[in-house]
Amino acid sequence: MKEWRIAVLAYRADGLHYAISARDRYADVGML
C-alpha cells in the first residue's frame, strides 16, 4: 500500500512548483 505515498509526494511536488511559480510571478510584478 504505497500508492498513497506516491500520491502525497506528487501532491507536495506540485504544490511546491505552484508556490515557486507564484513567487516568481509576484517578484516579476514587484519589479515593474
Give 1-32 pLDDT, tens digit per residue: 688 898 888 888 888 888 888 888 888 877 65
The residue segments making up the domain with residue 16 are 1-32
Report if pTM > 0.75. no
Instruction: State the DSSP code for 1.
Output: -
Q: What is the DSSP string of 2-32?
A: -HHHHHHHHHHHHHHHHHHHHHHHHHHHHH-
Q: Into how many domains does the chain fold? A: 1
Which residue carries 500508492 as its cell? 3
